[in-house]
Amino acid sequence: MRRVVMLVDNAVEGDSRVQKTARSAADAGWHVTLIGCAHVDAERRWRLGDAEVRVLPLAAVAASGRDAGSRDGSGLRGVSGLRSVSGLRARLVARGGLPLRAARLARRPVEHAEVRFWRARLRDGAWRRLEPGLWDYERVAGPVVDDLRPDLIHAHDFRMLGVAARAVDRARAAGRDVKLVWDAHEWLPGARPRRDNARWLPAHLGYVREYVGHADAVVTVSDTLADLLVRDHALPERPTVILNAPIAATTETSAPDLRKRCGLPPDTPLLVYSGAMAVQRGVDTVVEALPLLPGVHLALVVADPAAAYVRQVVARAARHGVGDRVHVLPYVPHRQLVAFLATADIGLIPLHHWPNHEIALITKFFEYAHARLPIVVSDVRTMAETVRATGQGEVFRARDAADLARAVRAVLADPARYRAAYEGEDSPLPGWTWEAQAERLDALYRRLLTPIR
């Protein structure tokens, strides 16, 4: 049995794509070990079907920063002027002499100078100085990968690409042929920086550019993103698209009823938003539209109903006089979600325009579709184009509450017209299942590991 090692930069539990990938590969006969790296107290182990999961504890970034100077081989120790100014700002903040916001604004010129300096000296390798915490993933996961002696490494998202590439190089130097698959979950140039500094994005972009050429194959989440990756990295082969589709065979029909949880009768119009809550997700636009939609209720299915931003949205609804029509509910188990959503009338995706929102078919898009819900989506490119092509919903102008209300009224006036897109020979649903995606991934693995005769 050929061994596959998968790598991801999180604790695995909340990452449905990673979990499904590992489990389905193991079901297809591969010997799968999924390695997560996260800030946990101790190593955690469990199984996803026949796949083994190991979550390794990351040490403090400070420790990896001390390692970086000896590991990157650059021989450069930094610029005393840049470091002394940056250190002064840190000391002022620590002593209460510079407010946090002012400190962030004050340090930006220093950070931009650091980026220019290290990019000029190390080019794409500047990440070693700008984001040395990336070495944590290498230090923690690299030896484990070596010990497992995989035939193929599947690196999820961008941080683990370098870890996988270096492991492949070590294996090949030892005489073993190991293949590398990079799974690009998002378009990195369009990502919001994970920290408020000027170093984050250029460092990670350089990191990816340094290692993307090591990949034997690339997979990603949409056709739009596949085209961008070809353009950005001059890939010799177009990435294989593996959609973030739900597992059709494990959907539980005996799930809780969303409408009953909201205390609503069957004839009350019910909109649902399911997923993460943040300003750029556009739920505020829905709340602003509710006064224009008399009698229409909104269900928010979220990870933490008590989270600060969720409370802000609820308070906003109360100020608009529609607080009694907004219902906040916790997540249900993944296997119950499709059946849980099915008693709503419309699934909402009110995203703001942001580069990564334009290129993805997100997980909730497929979950709504399998629940046979008409979808009302903002005019973010890929999902809007898909909805217009299939006829499964309506598109509105992002952040425009009046236009969202128009789209909702259109669907409620003739819901059967939109639900019909999910029926018949032209239904997209058979291809929008994880089972169909897993077949593509298995075929890719087998192609990469089949000897050329």
pLDDT exceeds 80 at position 276: yes
pLDDT digits (tens, 9 = 90+) for 107-142: 677 888 888 888 888 899 989 998 899 999 999 999
pLDDT digits (tens, 9 = 90+) for 154-166: 999 999 999 999 9
pLDDT band for position 441 (cuts 50, 70, 90): very high
pLDDT exceeds 60 at position 94: no
Integer Cα distance of 417 and 30 in angstroms: 43
In the chain, CATH 3.40.50.2000 covers 3-60+131-241, 248-427
Out of 228-242, 245-259, 271-285, 388-402, least confident range: 245-259
Say if CB 4 and CB 217 are below 8 A apart.
no
The residue among 327 and 117 whose pLDDT is bigger is: 327
Beta carbons within 8 Å of 1's beta carbon, 6+ residues apart: 29, 30, 31
pLDDT at position 429: 96
pLDDT at position 1: 83
Taking alpha carbons only, the member of 320, 345, 328, 365 closest to residue 412 is: 345
The residue among 424 and 90 whose pLDDT is bigger is: 424
pLDDT exceeds 50 at position 221: yes
Taking alpha carbons only, the member of 334, 332, 368 closest to residue 348 is: 368
SS (H, E, C) the chain: CCEEEEEECCCCCCCHHHHHHHHHHHHCCCEEEEEEEECCCCCEEEEECCEEEEEEECCCHHHHHHHHHHHCCCCCCCCHHHHHHHHHHHHHHHCCCCCHHHHHHHHHHHHHHHHHHHHHHHHHHHHHHHCCCHHHHHHHHHHHHHHHCCCEEEEECCHHHHHHHHHHHHHHHCCCCCEEEEEECCCHHHCCCCCCCCCHHHHHHHHHHHHHHHCCEEEECCHHHHHHHHHHHCCCCCCEECCCCCCHHHCCCCCCCHHHHCCCCCCCCEEEEECCCCHHHCHHHHHHHHHHCCCCEEEEEECCCCCHHHHHHHHHHHHCCCHHHEEEEECCCHHHHHHHHCCCCEEEECCCCCHHHHHCCCHHHHHHHHCCCCEEEECCHHHHHHHHHHCCEEEECCCCHHHHHHHHHHHHHCHHHHHHHHCCCCCCHHHCCHHHHHHHHHHHHHHHHCCCC
pLDDT at position 66: 42
pLDDT exceeds 60 at position 175: yes
Length of the chain: 453
pLDDT at position 87: 55
- For the segment 267-272, the average pLDDT, to the nearest whole number, is 98
pLDDT band for position 331 (cuts 50, 70, 90): very high
Please give the CATH topology (third level) of the domain spanning 3-60+131-241.
Rossmann fold (3.40.50)
The residue among 86 and 69 whose pLDDT is bigger is: 86
The rounded mean pLDDT for the chain is: 89
pLDDT digits (tens, 9 = 90+) for 176-196: 999 999 999 999 998 876 556
- For the segment 407-415, the average pLDDT, to the nearest whole number, is 98
Q: What is the pTM of this model?
A: 0.84
Out of 46-55, 79-88, 162-171, 350-359, least confident range: 79-88
pLDDT band for position 217 (cuts 50, 70, 90): very high
The residue among 78 and 97 whose pLDDT is bigger is: 97
pLDDT exceeds 90 at position 55: yes
pLDDT band for position 252 (cuts 50, 70, 90): low
pLDDT exceeds 80 at position 439: yes
pLDDT at position 126: 86
- The CATH number of the structural domain formed by 248-427 is 3.40.50.2000
